[in-house]
């Protein structure tokens, strides 16, 4: 029976929402997690989830007093849910979106889209994360997950509303004491990222395109000669033979093994782009092998779908089928034998040229495996196409090199896709508005389950200028994924491209990153276990502090390191700080005087591990360690350092060391001790320099990590 009708405003258009009287079906599916269906019939008709790690099993009714209950309705005939929020509640998440960190008052669409040159008003970008994290006035938190892969509007103009262009969908609600609790729960539901190889945390240099192969060597040589740290150079589509994936241009890249050997000898890794569109060419082995296994997406009438992308007329693998993913994975065995170290999946929304929708028809057919829901239209599988491609690519990297950790970067993805790929924020623009949005984008991705992300430093579209580039590199070098990139026809955007002054800033920025690699790697390990992102919003330090909730010109790296950025022309560096003692410090000589670099502050009670300045992550072992110490009011501090081989999977068998450093004040002396709390590696005896931050400046102490090490105050 219809209880009520009311008019609501969604994305500027008046629509009629009809609400049913029936209470939704609620079932507990975990500690602090409840799943809701519109009805028993909707539950029985629900298709398998495409974002959850495994199917959820009901264990009984929702806990007594459960307060977050979605209201199911229809909006213009489409299934919708609405969650009311209390006054003072701030909203975050929604994945890869433009605009501010705090999402209240926004309306976006979860629909993967080739959004070249997007701006703050673009309704949908390259990824879809139908997820909202809510932070109440008292600092408690909850999350709402709309378990649908269909196009879905996320309207936060009046509470939390999801409206999907598909069948009824279940809703999963997570309650947590803190936002950290909710993000961890999201990690348990949708999975966590794999531990990346250490080199993936270094700096990456890319452009569309470095060609021919001697230009790639030249760029790499410049980094080493200018003493600017860098781990990876990237190959965009011009390395291919007429844009045929898994090939090399016979004239411009005649000997890829020699190229990668040269780069490896200088400490570089190489990542190359692979798109999903496969050129229709009977003389092309990839096309022929795909034809033989009938792996392509079909039209409604059962023909191979043909769409135009870079190579011209293309067919597209149907990654919803295990057989297709197996075929795709096999392609990497021969390809990675060329010495390529990682894979960049692009254009996988999937993007299609010369059509208004920029993608394939929604009635195309995917012959999906039963565990994904079986055969269905592209409308259901569009948002997971890129995720499933990344899954197949990840499997291919493992198949080619079973003893090495894959690194995959994907432009398109979906909630849960962090299990297979890192991401970047797509084709941004070299202007101050995009620079300013970069931090909020990375933070909201982290709050949506994707810890490993970053923007194209310097902007992909347009030229920008030296000051803007220096500012972008200053904080971009401290985000989880740090890559410089630019488009074809643009000015050069290597760290030295804007002259000596900007080059000096970029060198300092990247030296800072490499000093922080021990800390970043420790945070990545935490992300792989818990889902907590390395880059965190300031409100994580005090969720009840309303003043921190809109801060998107600063972020935390872990719990104790605060990064205060300068994101607009002429702006001064000065973030709102959480309560407590936050002490500024230097990482490399001269960084404190460079106003284009963020201010770094260590919070009371924290110990920060630092490594030496190196030119690439594997240049030398971590045989010297530095600990920056900021004591709390009780004269104590602690910190963690995770170490393993940086590559391979020995850590799964205990070949690692997790060290807890503690500082205590005893009779005017600060004593720093190290204890191995996990792993089979023994405690190190390397030399350690302790930098104690005090009101009067820094006090230095040295000694063996076998310690303890005393520092007189």
Which pLDDT score is estimated for 18? Answer: 52
- Give 668's pLDDT tier (boundaries 50, 70, 90): confident
Residue 12 has pLDDT above 90, yes or no: no
The two structure tokens encoding residue 89: 């509640």
Domains held by the chain: number: 2
Judge if 102 and 6 occupy the same domain: yes
CA angle 285, 291, 295 (to 5 degrees): 115
User: Residue 345: which of 385, 298, 296 has the closest Cα?
Assistant: 385
Which pLDDT score is estimated for 6? Answer: 31
Residue 117 has pLDDT above 50, yes or no: yes
d(CA 303, CA 344): 29
Q: Which of 114, 168, 346, 553 is catalytic?
A: 346
User: Residue 484: which of 275, 268, 231, 269 has the closest Cα?
Assistant: 231
The two structure tokens encoding residue 713: 């105050």
* pLDDT average, residue stretch 115-126: 96
* pLDDT average, residue stretch 164-193: 98
Judge if 295 and 180 occupy the same domain: no
Judge if 375 and 285 occupy the same domain: yes
d(CA 8, CA 74): 12
User: Residue 352: which of 391, 298, 306, 411 has the closest Cα?
Assistant: 306
- Give 19's pLDDT tier (boundaries 50, 70, 90): low
d(CA 588, CA 511): 7
User: Residue 457: which of 397, 499, 506, 416 has the closest Cα?
Assistant: 506
d(CA 397, CA 2): 54
* Distance from chain centroid for Cα 439: 12
Residue 528 has pLDDT above 70, yes or no: yes
Which pLDDT score is estimated for 16? Answer: 45
Which pLDDT score is estimated for 570? Answer: 81
User: Residue 275: which of 234, 306, 303, 315 has the closest Cα?
Assistant: 315
Q: Which pTM was predicted?
A: 0.96
Residue 8 has pLDDT above 70, yes or no: no
First to last CA, the chain: 74
User: Dihedrals φ, ψ of 319, to 5°?
Assistant: -75, 0
What are the tens digits of pLDDT across the range 533-571? Answer: 999 999 999 999 999 999 999 999 999 999 999 998 986
Q: Which of 168, 175, 262, 427 is catalytic?
A: 427
User: Dihedrals φ, ψ of 638, to 5°?
Assistant: -155, 160
What are the tens digits of pLDDT across the range 222-236? Answer: 999 999 999 999 999
CATH code of 164's domain: 2.60.40.1760
Give kind and range of the element (H or E) at residue 508: helix 500-515
Percent of the chain with pLDDT over 90: 95
Relative to beta strand 482-484, strand 456-457 is: parallel
The answer to whether residue 378 sits within a structural domain is yes
What are the tens digits of pLDDT across the range 472-508? Answer: 999 999 999 999 999 999 999 999 999 999 999 999 9
d(CA 170, CA 46): 8
CA quadruple 698, 703, 707, 712: dihedral, nearest 10? -40
- Domain span at residue 71? 2-190
Residue 33 has pLDDT above 80, yes or no: yes
Residue 34 has pLDDT above 80, yes or no: yes
Active site residue 427: yes
d(CA 533, CA 178): 15
Judge if 143 and 277 occupy the same domain: no
Which pLDDT score is estimated for 308? Answer: 99
The answer to whether residue 616 sits within a structural domain is no
Q: Which of 90, 349, 436, 591 is catalytic?
A: 349
The answer to whether residue 564 sits within a structural domain is no
* pLDDT average, residue stretch 30-57: 97
Q: What is the 3-state secondary structure (H, E, C) of 588-645?
A: CCCHHHCCCCCEEEEECCEEEEECCCCCCCCCCCCCEEEEEEECCCCCEEEEEEEECC
Domain termination site, one of 383, 401, 420: 420
Q: What is the 3-state secondary structure (H, E, C) of 549-577?
A: CCCCCEEEECCCEEEECCCCCCCCCCCCC
Domain termination site, one of 373, 405, 420: 420
The two structure tokens encoding residue 522: 């420790």
Judge if 257 and 406 occupy the same domain: yes
d(CA 294, CA 208): 32
d(CA 382, CA 377): 9
The answer to whether residue 370 sits within a structural domain is yes
The answer to whether residue 277 sits within a structural domain is yes
Check whether the bond before 209 is cis (ω within 30° of 0).
yes
Judge if 274 and 348 occupy the same domain: yes
Residues 6+ apart with CB under 8 A from 278: 244, 245, 284, 286, 287, 290, 311, 314, 315, 316, 317
Judge if 261 and 119 occupy the same domain: no
Angle between helices 285-293 and 322-335 in degrees, nearest 10:
160
Residues 6+ apart with CB under 8 A from 321: 295, 366, 367, 368, 369
The answer to whether residue 386 sits within a structural domain is yes
Judge if 273 and 383 occupy the same domain: yes
d(CA 321, CA 324): 5
Sheet of 606-610: strand order equals 697-704, 687-694, 624-630, 606-610, 636-643, 657-666, 669-678, 709-712
Say how many residues make up the chain: 713
Which pLDDT score is estimated for 9? Answer: 34
Judge if 24 and 102 occupy the same domain: yes
The answer to whether residue 251 sits within a structural domain is yes
Judge if 260 and 407 occupy the same domain: yes
- Give 574's pLDDT tier (boundaries 50, 70, 90): confident
What are the tens digits of pLDDT across the range 248-299? Answer: 999 999 999 999 999 999 999 999 999 999 999 999 999 999 999 999 999 9
Judge if 317 and 171 occupy the same domain: no
Judge if 173 and 252 occupy the same domain: no
CATH code of 273's domain: 3.20.20.80
User: Are the C-beta atoms of residues 680 and 656 closer than 8 Å to each other?
Assistant: yes
The answer to whether residue 72 sits within a structural domain is yes
Domain termination site, one of 420, 451, 477: 420
Angle between helices 466-476 and 500-515 in degrees, nearest 10:
0
Phi-psi sector, 500: left (phi>0), alpha (psi -120 to 50), beta: alpha
Residue 7 has pLDDT above 90, yes or no: no
Q: For the chain, what is the mean pLDDT?
A: 96
**DSSP, res 319:** T
d(CA 69, CA 504): 54
Handedness of CA 375, 378, 382, 387 (dihedral sign): positive
User: Residue 382: which of 412, 354, 345 has the closest Cα?
Assistant: 412
């Amino acid at each position: 029976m219809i209880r009520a009708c009311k008019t609501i405003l969604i994305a500027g258009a008046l629509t009629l929402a009809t609400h049913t009287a029936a209470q939704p079906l609620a079932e507990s599916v975990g500690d602090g997690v409840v799943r809701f269906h519109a009805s028993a019939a909707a539950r029985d008709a629900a298709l398998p989830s495409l974002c959850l790690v495994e199917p959820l099993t009901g264990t009984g009714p929702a806990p007594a007093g459960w307060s977050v209950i979605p209201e199911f309705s229809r909006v213009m005939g489409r299934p919708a849910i609405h969650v009311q929020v209390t006054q003072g509640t701030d909203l975050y998440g929604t994945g890869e979106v433009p605009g501010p960190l705090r999402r209240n008052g926004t309306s976006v669409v979860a629909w993967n889209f080739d959004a070249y040159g997007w701006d703050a008003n673009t309704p949908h970008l390259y990824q879809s994360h139908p997820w909202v994290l809510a932070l109440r006035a008292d600092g408690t938190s909850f999350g709402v997950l709309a378990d649908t892969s269909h196009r879905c509007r996320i309207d936060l103009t009046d509470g939390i509303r999801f409206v999907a262009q598909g069948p009824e969908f279940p809703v999963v609600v997570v309650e947590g004491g803190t936002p950290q609790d909710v993000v961890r729960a999201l990690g348990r539901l949708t999975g966590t990222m794999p531990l990346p190889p250490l080199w993936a945390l270094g700096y990456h240099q890319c452009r569309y395109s470095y060609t021919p192969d001697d230009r790639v060597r030249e760029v790499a040589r410049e980094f080493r000669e200018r003493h600017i740290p860098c781990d990876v150079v990237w190959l965009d589509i011009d390395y291919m033979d007429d844009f045929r994936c898994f090939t090399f241009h016979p004239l411009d890249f005649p000997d890829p093994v020699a190229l990668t050997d040269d780069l490896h000898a200088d400490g570089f890794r190489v990542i190359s782009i692979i798109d999903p569109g496969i050129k229709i060419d009977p003389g092309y082995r990839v096309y022929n092998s795909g034809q033989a296994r009938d792996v392509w997406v079909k039209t409604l009438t059962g023909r191979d779908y043909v769409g135009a992308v870079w190579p011209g007329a293309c067919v597209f693998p149907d990654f919803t089928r295990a057989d297709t993913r197996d075929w795709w994975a096999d392609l990497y065995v021969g390809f990675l034998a060329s010495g390529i170290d990682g894979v960049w999946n692009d254009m996988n929304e999937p993007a299609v040229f010369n059509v208004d929708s920029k993608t394939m028809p929604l009635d195309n057919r995917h012959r999906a495996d039963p565990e994904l829901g079986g055969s269905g239209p592209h409308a259901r599988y569009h948002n997971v196409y890129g995720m499933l491609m990344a899954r197949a690519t990840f499997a291919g990297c493992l198949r080619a090199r079973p003893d090495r950790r894959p690194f995959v970067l994907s432009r398109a993805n979906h909630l849960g896709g962090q299990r297979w790929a890192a991401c970047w924020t797509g084709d941004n623009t070299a202007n101050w508005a995009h620079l300013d949005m970069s931090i909020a984008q990375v933070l909201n991705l982290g709050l949506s389950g994707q810890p490993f992300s970053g923007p194209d430093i310097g902007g992909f579209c347009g030229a920008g200028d030296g000051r803007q580039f220096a500012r972008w590199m200053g904080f971009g070098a401290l985000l989880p994924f740090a890559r410089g990139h630019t488009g074809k026809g643009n000015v050069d955007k290597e760290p030295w491209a804007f002259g000596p002054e900007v080059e000096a800033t970029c060198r300092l920025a990247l030296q800072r990153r490499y000093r922080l690699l021990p800390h970043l790697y420790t945070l990545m390990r935490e992300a792989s276990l818990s889902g907590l992102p390395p880059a965190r919003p300031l409100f994580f330090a005090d969720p009840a502090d309303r003043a921190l909730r809109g801060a998107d010109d600063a972020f935390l790296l872990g719990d104790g390191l605060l990064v205060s950025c300068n994101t607009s022309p002429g702006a001064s560096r000065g973030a709102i700080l959480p309560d407590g003692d936050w002490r500024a410090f230097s990482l490399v000589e001269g960084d404190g005087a460079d106003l284009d670099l963020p201010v770094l502050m260590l919070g009371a009670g924290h110990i920060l591990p630092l490594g030496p300045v190196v030119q690439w992550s594997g240049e030398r072992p971590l045989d010297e360690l530095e600990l920056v110490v900021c004591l709390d009011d009780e004269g104590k501090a602690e910190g963690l350092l995770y170490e393993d081989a940086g590559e391979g999977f020995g850590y799964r068998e205990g070949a690692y060391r997790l060290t807890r450093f503690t500082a205590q004040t005893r009779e005017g002396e600060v004593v720093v001790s190290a204890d191995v709390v996990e792993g089979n590696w023994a405690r190190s005896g390397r030399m350690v320099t302790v930098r104690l931050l005090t009101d009067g400046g820094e006090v230095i102490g040295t000694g063996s990590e076998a310690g303890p090490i005393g520092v007189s105050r």
